[in-house]
Structure 1
Amino acid sequence: MNQPIRAAVVGYGLAGQVFHAPLISADPAYELSAVVTADPERSASAAARYPSTRIVPSVDALLADASSYDLVVVGSPTPTHVSVAERTLDAGLPTVVDKPMAVRVADAERLIELAARADVPLTVFQNRRWDGDFLTVRKLLREGALGEVWRFESRFEWHSTRARPQWKSGTPGTEGGGVAYDIGAHLIDQAVRLFGPVTDFYGELDARRPGAVNDDDSFVALTHESGVRSHLSMCSLVAQRGFRFRVLGSEAAYTVWGLDGQEAQLKSGMSPLDAEYGVAPPGAHGKLGRDGALTTVPTERGAYGDFYARLAVALTGNGPLPVNPVDVLEPLRILETLQRKVPPDT
């Protein structure tokens, strides 16, 4: 019998606590061997939920015992992604980096080159490739249900007044704290997966909160080589949400509302193994067709766990990585360029 993959999760904030630790612990191919956090409250929370998991106070302490692990997941704040991943790759440990892999393209390229030289697997947690609504759009495109698609509209909107972590409220663009880096890394990745490389782009990165520095209301327009135009909106201050996706084609359109439910389910403590996990309720299903002649399209089941299932196969040498890290370079190049166009804070 194969031994489980011994995984360590660095960071126990949103990424580690809500996504990585639950997904890893639910997959029999893995053992959640360690969680790295120096925060006493988070340490206690992780120990209570995963009593057989080591709680490690630092990356130094983790790497001092590197041979005890087979995989490291970097779920720490974005500004630390590159420095932590450099150390885990240097230690010969296969590494998952939460999105965005880096703030600057040059740093992402350096990680990719380091992984290639060391012959150590490196991948990026672009989990929203496994959103149910995104999987539904992919299915409709494969089936030709829309005819020739000419516009893809994607909106990720919510309303939050809670205080943001310090690293998310710093200098514009330098630390990747705004919604463009946070959500745009997903939306651009999705658009490129669907419609191919980008030949031109435009963006508006605005800060709406009083005293805000980093963007909280942003829009990015892409022109793909295929001729499709993608209009991507992301905002954390929306009082009335719009559609999640609207895809316009020569024969029909597809529109769906509401955010994929997997994040909320994981936050609630639902196991990825639950029969209802990833299942969208009938009222959240999208509509296909033309006004006056619409049909309901059941949303595909969301499947964030597929990322780790595919990674387990890749780590045994039997398949490709779930996300090729080279894929993230184009979205990062777009985001970095748009951030550089933001006037300096005065």
Structure 2
Amino acid sequence: MTNSSTVQVALIGYGSAAKIFHAPLVAGVPGLQLACICSSRPETVHADWPEVRVVATPAEVFSDASIDVVVIATPNDSHYPLALAALRAGKHVVVDKPCTVTLADAEHLLVVAAQHGRVLTVFQNRRLDSDFLALREVLANGALGRVVQVDSHFDRYRPVVPSRWREEDLPGSGLWFDLGAHLVDQALVLWGMPDAINLDLACLRDGSQVNDWFHAVLRYDTAHAGLRVILHASTLVADGGPRWAVHGTRGSFTKYGLDTQEDALKTGQRPQLGALADWGQDAQPGTLLQMTTLPGVAAPLSVRREAPNPNGNHLAYYANLREHLAGRADLLVTPDQVRAVMRVLTVGEKSAAQRRVMALGVEAARA
């Protein structure tokens, strides 16, 4: 880091992920400064951020001794070479999900980061959605008993295939490496590494080049007594069901919809940490249905109530990075977690290609 107490952050790429999420979130955290953006469209950047320096090439960022952190928000197949160059230049690196397009590339980056004493982490902002925070609270207080089935859906209605790299037949494109990276990360945070995965991929929209639908079943036969975690996403769901349906031996947690963070950021709002007010509120709290058995009563009684409804806070991702670099906090998304998500994504691809359940052992991931 520089002698300044403010961490200097450079952003590579200014597509939708950078414009909607990274730039305003970095700028909204005291102690971080959005110092530089690398983009081929300086006029677009300056329309949003007139005071931020714009450079044309990543090399200019890597050679700038004042830059402490590089955020990579470019097409997935460019993550590995850009992150590698940034780490070798002595920068800490945040990569937009997924980390890379192969497990081997992610593992190599983690080795290089450790060798240079630098942070390599992945932007997993969905850990800081209101619905996920609510579910963590429900699980922590044991309200559901032993969890036996989880349905985690991220469905949208986007019938027209947009013209963008995510929809092209490129390494790491498609919905599985996009929304799947979030859903896998959330499942691993809550329940750890599953024993096996069965993934089905499909192209449903007219003109689709890459998967725009997936259905993954994570099998937890060893650690969680047969738990099944179902991860599902589609681009052709006009009337969506629950975002979460989590069932346990003592009840169920059901949650529809998302909090307001992404929509607010899309409208150009710029939240400031410490002055959030109503930021991240969720107008659709989840429902907790608990079952109780009374002496002498044959059928269990049900009690339905509103589940916890904490505010979401994507700013906390970059606040955690600031605190970690200052030595005051553990890193939110650790190297082991980066590696684990890539392992599931990689083995999942093989499961879909071979149309069979695949074990999630290290050997399967590297075969």
CA-based RMSD: 1.8
**Paired residue total:** 336
**Equivalent residue of 1:218, what SS?**
strand
Q: TM-score, normalised by structure 1?
A: 0.92
Tell me how far apart the structure 1 counterparts of residues 91 and 202 of structure 2 sit (CA, whole Å): 39
Tell me how far apart the structure 2 counterparts of residues 18 and 318 of structure 1 sit (CA, whole Å): 28
Query: CA shift at 1:165, angstroms?
Result: 4.2
1:189 is matched with 185
Which residue of 28, 31, 36 corresponds with 1:29? Answer: 31
Tell me how far apart the structure 1 counterparts of residues 241 and 94 of structure 2 sit (CA, whole Å): 33
2:157/2:235 contact within 8 Å kept: yes
Paired AA for residue 342 in structure 2: L
Which residue of 131, 134, 149 corresponds with 2:132? Answer: 134
Shifted more, 70-79 versus 314-323: the winner is: 314-323
1:320 is matched with 330
1:93 is matched with 91
Query: Which deviations, in whole Å up to 9, do the C-alpha atoms of 1:164-192 show, x marking residues without a partner?
Result: 34432333xx5111111101111011011
**Equivalent residue of 2:165, what SS?**
helix
1:67 is matched with 65
Query: CA shift at 1:267, angstroms?
Result: 0.8
Paired AA for residue 50 in structure 1: W
Tell me how far apart the structure 1 counterparts of residues 145 and 62 of structure 2 sit (CA, whole Å): 53
Which residue of 296, 311, 317 corresponds with 1:301? Answer: 311
Query: CA shift at 1:135, angstroms?
Result: 0.5
1:145 is matched with 143
Structure of greater Rg: 2
Query: CA shift at 1:261, angstroms?
Result: 2.4
Runs (4+) off by over 6 Å: none
Matched, 1:331 2:363: no
1:267 is matched with 266
Tell me how far apart the structure 2 counterparts of residues 342 and 310 of structure 1 sit (CA, whole Å): 35
Taking only the aligned residue pairs, the percentage that are identical comes to 34
Query: CA shift at 1:339, angstroms?
Result: 2.2
**Equivalent residue of 1:27, what SS?**
coil
Tell me how far apart the structure 2 counterparts of residues 119 and 334 of structure 1 sit (CA, whole Å): 26
Tell me how far apart the structure 1 counterparts of residues 91 and 341 of structure 2 sit (CA, whole Å): 26
Query: CA shift at 1:264, angstroms?
Result: 1.0
Query: Which deviations, in whole Å up to 9, do the C-alpha atoms of 1:272-314 show, x marking residues without a partner?
Result: 2342211112xx1111015963111242110111111111011
Unmatched 5+ residue regions in structure 2? 292-301, 355-367
Matched, 1:120 2:118: yes
Which residue of 100, 105, 111 corresponds with 1:102? Answer: 100
2:153/2:233 contact within 8 Å kept: yes
Matched, 1:215 2:211: yes
Unmatched 5+ residue regions in structure 1? none
1:156/1:259 contact within 8 Å kept: no
Matched, 1:18 2:14: no
**Equivalent residue of 1:276, what SS?**
coil
2:10/2:70 contact within 8 Å kept: yes
**Equivalent residue of 2:195, what SS?**
strand
Query: Which deviations, in whole Å up to 9, do the C-alpha atoms of 1:204-262 show, x marking residues without a partner?
Result: 10001123221101100001232321011011121211100011011110101012321
Which residue of 189, 194, 199 corresponds with 2:195? Answer: 199
2:74 is matched with 76
Tell me how far apart the structure 2 counterparts of residues 164 and 175 of structure 1 sit (CA, whole Å): 18
